Amino acid sequence: MSEPLLEIRGLRKHYGAVRALDGIDLQVRAGSVYGFIGPNGAGKTTTIRILAGLIRPTSGSVFLGGRDLRADRVRAAQGLRALVEVPSFYPGLSGRENLTVFAKLARAEAGDVDRLLEAVGLTHAAQRAVGGYSLGMRQRLGIAQALVGKPRLVVLDEPMSGLDPSAIHLVRELILAERQTRGVTFFLSSHLLHDVETLCDEVGIIHRGAIVAEGRIEELLGDAISGYHVRTADDAKALEALTASIPAARPRLHPDGGLVVEGDEALAPALHRALLEVGMPAIAVTPMRETLERYFIEKTDGVMG
């Protein structure tokens, strides 16, 4: 296993009596895509603003490549890029001109600007003034800006915000390509749990300023059964029988037909027995595996945002 590129130890941020961060610890391996998720107000943006140097922590340490980001920021932050909230540009300059300015500062290779403009789908608008860009176009240009040159760690706060489905696909593909071809490490905050599950190797869940779960997604979710999708000849009759027999399983009708019940492997015998007792044997019983969304809800007390 590779050494952590980013390590956070005991990070705290207090605003008077409010504890925005309450001693969080996490590690991000070099070359990984790390998903940082939590409800609104959980502490995600506060953490990212500390990483970006926009605010100072009350206590705790952040290490990038083994260097303390607070004590030796100039050297530690080399190769660190962060896109926090809405990106800022020179509105009178074109998209290409804005990106060229950053490319010169980053000592990027020739062709980097054109490559990234194409990757985020802005080649057609490269000569237009950024002041006339839509929110989604500015967001895509901001992602391209974060990838100019040779970044080691790219921190993205809600990178899919304001993007249409086509642009979201482009950004997903770009993140995966940059990770595979250039070894860029990503620290990604998002409310789109499907994107996190698709893109990320590991995830950290923050709730009320504390990390409540962290690890590889497949290990967190495992192969555990979280419920069953049941099909019968009479769903209404089956629902009545299951509600009377095993109410703790929370039987309910599924929008696409059949019923859904919640529980692990131990539920299956009781499920079949309840249906047989009313002469309604199951036509099909399909196990449902844990999803990141369900796991997230469990770990955050049902708070979605």
pLDDT at res. 32 = 95
pLDDT at res. 192 = 87
Enter the tokens of residue 71: 């004590």
pLDDT at res. 302 = 62
The CATH code of the domain at 4-220 is 3.40.50.300
Query: Whole-angstrom distance between the N-terminal and C-terminal Cα of the chain?
Result: 33
CA distance 241 to 274: 6
Over 60: is that where the pLDDT of 94 sits? yes
CA distance 160 to 190: 8
Over 90: is that where the pLDDT of 2 sits? no
The residue extents of the domains of the chain are 4-220, 223-289
pLDDT in tens, 7-48: 999 999 999 999 999 999 999 999 999 999 999 899 999 999
State how beta strands 18-29 and 67-68 pair. unpaired
Q: How many angstroms separate the Cα of 175 from the Cα of each of 181, 187, 239?
A: 10, 11, 45
Q: How confident is the model at residue 49 (pLDDT cuts 50, 70, 90)?
A: very high
CA distance 119 to 105: 21
pLDDT in tens, 291-300: 888 888 888 8
Half-sphere CA count of 249, side-chain side, radius 13 A: 31
Over 60: is that where the pLDDT of 61 sits? yes
Question: What value does the mean pLDDT take over residues 194-218?
Answer: 92
Q: How confident is the model at residue 303 (pLDDT cuts 50, 70, 90)?
A: low
The CATH code of the domain at 223-289 is 3.30.70
What's CA 290's distance to the chain center, in Å?
A: 17
pLDDT in tens, 228-270: 999 999 999 999 999 999 999 999 999 889 999 988 888 889 9
CA distance 305 to 302: 9
